[in-house]
Chain A
Amino acid sequence: MTIAPREYDFVAARQRLEAKPKSAGPKLGSLEEAAALVKDSDHLAIGGCLYSRTPLALVWALLRRRPTGLTFSRNLMCYEGEWGMVSGAVSKVVTSWMGIGLPWGLSRIQREFVEAGRVEFEEWSHLGLGLRYRAAAMGVPFLPSLTMLGSDLMGVGGSKTVTCPYTGRTLHAVPALFPEVALIHVQKADRLGNCRIDGYPHMDADIARAAATVLVTAEEIVSEDEIRRHPDRTVIPGFLVDALAHVPYGSYPHECYGAYDAEPEHFTTYVDGIRERGAASVADYLERYVYAPTSHADYLALFGEPRRADAAGRARMLTT
């Protein structure tokens, strides 16, 4: 198992950017229009981390289009990776860790699909994957690092070492990862795509620079004047963004820092279903939560407004 040359080909990646319009104009459209920019077999880098600021609405809209052959990469992969496997959309997962968290145990879906060889699972260390995105964000084919050396993880993707030209030391040449598409959810953006992130930055600014196409959903669309009043808070400039959609609760039932807390009880119900019926339970979950609702608002309605309001209240308590 090795990484594909297109993942670290910095010349081709640069040419893709040079060929693309980098507009200062409005990007705001529908969630469905954003998701339609994903093509089969694309490599999708997913923002946030685990169940924090996951671009879950974008994943939702994307899976409704029944794509195939996708690669999902993410620093820590939560159950969106299970959705990708069970729906048949994803043939490869690139991550450092997969699951929800200690209380929910091992991902039975990851076990089932990887042990049967139904998906390719490419593991990096957490920093290793972070540096892959960072190298791409910097427009270089690799970054030297001390991490992963000596471990069997070096063989998983086909990592190479370099001898430092100055000190003669051995370093891990962490290969760049230029994804086709970045999926990102932020708290605030203006209609031009200038994005502001509250709380954890995770790796979103890097994947926005690394990807050829950047799709963003925002909890709130703020005025261009608001962005210009605090330009130091902008972490993704608008000209990097290809499509933007206004999606309140766009990470729900995952958390969005300062906006709403996660719903661990929902995770427990989801995992209990898998314990009882395996992948069939995820297929039913997808039918109910992803394919049946005709809009993201209908999806949110399945959880109910009082529950969302409670999650928002908890977030305020946790960030003040």
Chain B
Amino acid sequence: MTVTANELLAVMGSRELRNDTTVFTGVGAPMMASVLAQRTHAPRLTMMVEGGVIAPTWKPGELPISTNEMRAAYRAQMLPGITDAFLLAQRGFFDVGFIGGAQIDRHGNLNTSAIGGYARPRVRLPGSGGANDIISLCREVLILTVHEKRRFTERVDFVTSPGYLEGGDSRRRAGLLFGGVSRVVTTLGIFGFPPESRRMQLLALHPGATVEQVRENTGFEVLVSPSLTTTKPPTEEELSILRMLDPKRQFIG
């Protein structure tokens, strides 16, 4: 059974989620990861969707394209409104926040605004949406992204969403007293940020991936954990749940 990039991200992302916790999520791979966790090891995980949806029960085959449409609200427990949804995150109610693919640097800063200067960009990107809020306000943040050299860059042109800024304690010094990026889950492996340097470090490789491959696809020096491990491949159960949820493969690819 071939595993697609989004299936791999959803499975690896879901395994980072714990039972009896809360997750702030967007559409795409993050939403697949959250629902998969609920249906496997984390049945008491509460999901908040960016459009302002608490605990939806999505219909298989009717997954939402945006976070604020009727499909995203299907059989939810509450629709608090967007501002109040994020204020719950500012209050500290969200253990984990998910952010999807973007341009990312070695300190976990993300750019989804503009390539080549803000005022007259070479490429204008869609913008933060809630990504900046999620990374600023949740207790920990998981970034899910395809691993490509153009995404993993030495310095982002514009910090839309602050990871660890310049590293060290610069994030806290900027006033971001809480949270931070805990893991970057890519199609090649899983990365963390050791507290002293807050520089991205390879913690685990997915089955079949190599350190060389990571180096070739990363635009900055790759630090490798001395205790590098290998992740367990997606199970039949995990993949069959994802494929049941998304039979038209709109999100899993």
Answer whether A and B are interacting partners: yes
Which residues of A come within 8 Å of B, CB atoms? Answer: 1, 49-52, 75-76, 95-99, 101-103, 106-107, 110-111, 114-115, 117, 121, 123-128, 130-131, 133-134, 145-153, 155-156, 161, 169-172, 199-203, 205-206, 255, 257-258, 261-262, 264, 315, 318-319
B119 on the A face (CB < 8 A): yes
Chain B residues within an 8 Å CB radius of A123: 113, 127-128, 160
A51 to B71 Cα, complex, angstroms: 12
Given contacts A97-B126, A261-B70, A264-B65, contact A201 B81 (CB under 8 A): yes
Known: A150-B165, A153-B159. 4 other contacts (CB 8 A): A96-B128, A115-B124, A149-B175, A200-B68
Interchain nearest-CB distance for B208 vs A (Å): 27
Asked if B122 and A115 make an inter-chain contact with CB atoms under 8 angstroms apart, the answer reads yes
A257 to B64 Cα, complex, angstroms: 14
B232 on the A face (CB < 8 A): no
Given contacts A152-B118, A200-B51, A255-B69, contact A75 B127 (CB under 8 A): no
B43 on the A face (CB < 8 A): no
B1 on the A face (CB < 8 A): no
B83 on the A face (CB < 8 A): yes
B239 on the A face (CB < 8 A): no
A258 to B74 Cα, complex, angstroms: 11
A to B contact number (C-beta, < 8 Å): 188
Which residues of B come within 8 Å of A, CB atoms? Answer: 27-28, 50-53, 62, 65-66, 68-71, 73-74, 79-83, 86-87, 89-90, 113, 118-133, 136-137, 158-162, 165, 170-171, 174-178, 250
Asked if A51 and B66 make an inter-chain contact with CB atoms under 8 angstroms apart, the answer reads yes
Interchain nearest-CB distance for A301 vs B (Å): 25
Asked if B130 and A96 make an inter-chain contact with CB atoms under 8 angstroms apart, the answer reads yes
One of A98, A102, A147, A206 near B137 (C-beta < 8 A): A147
Interface centre among B119, B126, B165 (most CB of A within 10 A): B126
Asked if A146 and B82 make an inter-chain contact with CB atoms under 8 angstroms apart, the answer reads no
One of A102, A201, A261, A264 near B79 (C-beta < 8 A): A201
A240 to B174 Cα, complex, angstroms: 39
A63 to B126 Cα, complex, angstroms: 24
Interface centre among A97, A99, A156, A255 (most CB of B within 10 A): A97
Asked if B90 and A75 make an inter-chain contact with CB atoms under 8 angstroms apart, the answer reads no
Chain B residues within an 8 Å CB radius of A127: 82-83, 86-87, 89-90, 130, 133, 137
A126 to B86 Cα, complex, angstroms: 8
Interchain nearest-CB distance for A130 vs B (Å): 3
Given contacts A97-B128, A115-B120, contact A146 B90 (CB under 8 A): yes
Given contacts A202-B82, A318-B62, contact A50 B68 (CB under 8 A): yes
Chain B residues within an 8 Å CB radius of A130: 82-83, 86
